[in-house]
Amino acid sequence: MGQDVRSPRGPRCIALVGPFQSGKTTLLEAILARTGAIPRAGNVDAGTSVGDATAEARRHKMGVGLSAATTNFMGDSYTFIDCPGSVEFAHDMRAALPAVDAAVVVCEADEKKLPQLQLILRELEDLGIPRFLFLNKIDRANKRIRETLATLQPASRIPLVLRQIPIWNGDLIAGFVDLALERAFVYREHKASEVVALEGGDLDREKEARFSMLEKLADHDDALMEQLLEDIPPPRDAVFDDLARELREGLICPVLLGSAARENGVLRLMKALRHEAPGVAETAKRLGVPASKDATGYVFKTVHLQHGGKLSLTRLFAGHIDDGATLQSSSGESGRVSGISNVNCAHDTKRASAEAGDTVALGKLDAIKTGDTLSSGKTAPKALVAIEPLPPVLSMAIAANDRKDDVKLGQALLRLNEEDPSLTMIQNPRTHDIVLWGQGEMHLRVALERLSDRFGVHVKSHPPAIGYQETIRKSITQRGRHKKQSGGHGQFGDVVLEIAPLPRGGGFEFHEKVVGGAVPRNYIGAVEEGVVDGLLRGPLGFPVIDLQVTLTDGSYHSVDSSDLAFRTAARIGVSEALPQCQPVLLEPIHVVEIVCPTDSTAKINAILSGRRGQILGFDTREGWPGWDCVRAMMPEAEIGELIVELRSATAGAGSFTRAFDRMAEVTGRAADQIIAAHRVAA
């Protein structure tokens, strides 16, 4: 709609955020259809929406990564970034938010989603991003709007200010009254709303609701407060100015109504964005973009196309970039732009350059990563943003189905991590497994699907090995002897070892008290190496810790002794001694800290107790009304699937962090089961 004329505020970038399944992608479809960017809105369930263009999104019928689309409305250019609602894919949202001028928080009148809404609003609040709340699915509303607003208000630290009230037709909402415009509109499905006369009960409700809106605005406008006290109607333009200013200063969150599926309320939302959302200059100021003639941008997403190379999705805050320009990054890397295209989901179009405000995809910046600040200057710019990935909460061990794909898997994982830094890969030095860490069950499942669909690497997965170890309770003195003669020089090594337990956490100590040269000094290092070899796998099948080994005596042969012979003798001595030292199994214990809505705390305590957790206590979560923080000690073996139960008990909002605390003994039947399972697996 409208001509492609550059707005004085520059092209705008708007985030669509909100709880899982609140209708963000459907709203994006409605916006694109109402502004003429697409002929008609697609359907998420049918897999025809622009926003869910990836195979994984269509497969799961949910957003599993951000998508973006650019459109024009009344002469202004807007790029909308549709952010996933699931907490498992929150990193995409957190990385994108610094790039935007404002956010539209899409939610519904569902009390169960309040904790998720609070998480999202807190992120916006902490970043200082102006935000509208779009109360979606209003056609399904079954309670009065003031009740809904009272339900939602605890999720926001600033007032939710109602901009519209519904017009009821019996039990159905037929339209709305715009409190700033003082006009009534009746919804028409997939068409612009129709202006109707404001009269009767609707007029009375409008006056009351408008006064309530003005009262909240007057909290930050003394002139408006005086007008209200003196019963003087404020000028309409002044009301709009107040709404815009208080939105941009983070003093209020305006609330708009609509139904994305029916395209109701979409044009009102677009007009509010056009008149009230800040432009790129204000966003640059918020981020601290330095005053300079150099171009400055921020990379909020990295994408590896199956056949098109690497794309860096970038918001330009200042200056001008031409195709072929060389850019410096805050990470110290540089790159030459090879291709600039509009960000428009699956339908990218090439362009010759980008200006301040544009959101574009820059091609072939191979050394640049998500979160980098870019500059056309000669030196590396200071980073505008620091996005720390959330701590991982679930892991799986993976390996290529075909061993010849091991190198290909490593390269694919590096690309996957570039696209999604909230995925972490660690090589287990003991099992040699690659352990993939992520934000939840669906997050890891989608990662494996991307490995297969986009990088052609098929993998098998299994639960990662638990870090069991073993120790001893009894001291012993043991001789280790290695003698071999097979023609020519033989092998001879002979050691006497004292093996004794250390206190828990003591690790491993090696000492020597050899007298009279029974073991020459040049072989003592080999003896220690042999002892370490013998501790790699104890009699129960696990590494042995918390003991000391002292070399006290031995013998050697002037011709047949060697480093290898003494190393072998020491390993034999340790291996023969350990079964006699009353070995005991140890399991890793972690301190787990869970954050959850208060009404879920009792469920969390029950979950922890059922997983052999020792609850240390709980307290209110500082700065988070209605949330608790629960601390517990838990065996590592019980933490594996904890996040699945935790999310189920907290409507997807709860999470946890953990830190290793100590190794603790496992005895009885539990120990027997662990040892037996390990032997079968080995």
- Average confidence score pLDDT of the chain: 92
Q: DSSP letters along 156-222, please?
A: -SS-EEE-EEEEEETTEEEEEEETTTTEEEEEETTEEEEEE---HHHHHHHHHHHHHHHHHHHTT-H
Tally of CB atoms within 10 A around 515? 7
Phi first, then psi: give them for residue 619, nearest 5 degrees: -150, 170
Predicted local confidence at residue 487, as pLDDT: 65
Q: 589 and 664 in contact (C-beta within 8 Å)? A: yes
Predicted local confidence at residue 431, as pLDDT: 74
Predicted local confidence at residue 537, as pLDDT: 95
Q: What is the DSSP letter of 86?
A: S
- Summarize pLDDT for 138-176 with one digit per residue, the tens: 888 778 898 999 999 999 999 999 999 999 887 788 899
Rounded-to-integer distance, Cα 359 and Cα 99, Å: 9
3-state class (DSSP) for residue 79: strand
Q: 210 and 182 in contact (C-beta within 8 Å)? A: yes
The CATH superfamily of 288-375 is Translation factors (2.40.30.10)
Share of the chain above pLDDT 90, in %: 78
Q: Which tokens is 592 given?
A: 């787990």
- Angle between helix 642-649 and helix 601-610 axes, rounded to 10 deg: 160
3-state class (DSSP) for residue 417: helix
Predicted local confidence at residue 348, as pLDDT: 64
Predicted local confidence at residue 6, as pLDDT: 47
Predicted local confidence at residue 8, as pLDDT: 63
Q: 598 and 628 in contact (C-beta within 8 Å)? A: yes
CA-wise closest residue to 370 among 460, 301, 269, 459? 301
Mean pLDDT value across residues 467-477: 96
Whole-number Cα distances in Å, 52 to 43, 99, 145, 511: 9, 21, 31, 64
Cα R_g (the chain), whole angstroms: 32
- Summarize pLDDT for 549-596 with one digit per residue, the tens: 999 999 999 889 999 999 999 999 999 999 999 999 999 999 999 999
Tally of CB atoms within 10 A around 355? 16
pLDDT band at 282 (very low <50, low <70, confident <90, very high): very high
What is the H or E stretch that residue 646 is in? Answer: helix 642-649
Predicted local confidence at residue 569, as pLDDT: 97
- Spell out the residues 6+ positions from residue 503 whose beta carbon is closer than 8 angstroms to its own: 546
Q: 178 and 287 in contact (C-beta within 8 Å)? A: no
Predicted local confidence at residue 345, as pLDDT: 59
Rounded-to-integer distance, Cα 457 and Cα 437, Å: 18
Rounded-to-integer distance, Cα 133 and Cα 131, Å: 7
3-state class (DSSP) for residue 523: helix
Q: Which residues pair with 183 in a beta bridge?
A: 178
Mean pLDDT value across residues 328-351: 86
Phi first, then psi: give them for residue 248, nearest 5 degrees: -65, -30
Q: How far is CA 666 from the centre of its chain?
A: 35
pLDDT band at 3 (very low <50, low <70, confident <90, very high): very low
Tally of CB atoms within 10 A around 326? 10
Rounded-to-integer distance, Cα 46 and Cα 620, Å: 43
Q: Please check whether the two domains, 394-462 and 469-581, share a CATH topology.
A: no
3-state class (DSSP) for residue 496: strand
- For the domain made up of 12-284, give the CATH fold: Rossmann fold (3.40.50)
What is the H or E stretch that residue 633 is in? Answer: strand 627-635
What is the CATH architecture of 394-462? 2-Layer Sandwich (3.30)
Mean pLDDT value across residues 603-609: 96
Whole-number Cα distances in Å, 602 to 597, 613, 649: 10, 14, 10
What is the H or E stretch that residue 529 is in? Answer: helix 524-535
pLDDT at 130 over 70: yes
Mean pLDDT value across residues 489-498: 93
pLDDT at 54 over 90: no
Predicted local confidence at residue 104, as pLDDT: 98
CA-wise closest residue to 587 among 644, 661, 533? 661
Rounded-to-integer distance, Cα 322 and Cα 179, Å: 45
- Domain boundaries along the sequence of the chain: 12-284, 288-375, 394-462, 469-581, 586-681
For the domain spanning 586-681, the CATH number is 3.30.70.240
Mean pLDDT value across residues 638-654: 94
Rounded-to-integer distance, Cα 476 and Cα 135, Å: 73
Specify the pairing of strand 326-329 against strand 373-375: antiparallel
Rounded-to-integer distance, Cα 265 and Cα 31, Å: 10
Q: 186 and 194 in contact (C-beta within 8 Å)? A: yes
Q: Which residues pair with 256 in a beta bridge?
A: 134
The burial class, CB within 10 Å (0-12 / 13-18 / 19+), for 189 is exposed
Predicted local confidence at residue 432, as pLDDT: 77
- Summarize pLDDT for 358-393 with one digit per residue, the tens: 999 999 999 999 999 999 999 999 999 998 888 999
Which is it for the CA torsion 540, 543, 548, 549, positive or negative?
positive
Whole-number Cα distances in Å, 360 to 100, 292, 342, 593: 13, 21, 5, 40
Predicted local confidence at residue 331, as pLDDT: 94
Which is it for the CA torsion 381, 387, 392, 396, positive or negative?
negative
Rounded-to-integer distance, Cα 459 and Cα 477, Å: 48
- Summarize pLDDT for 247-256 with one digit per residue, the tens: 999 999 999 9
What is the CATH architecture of 469-581? 2-Layer Sandwich (3.30)
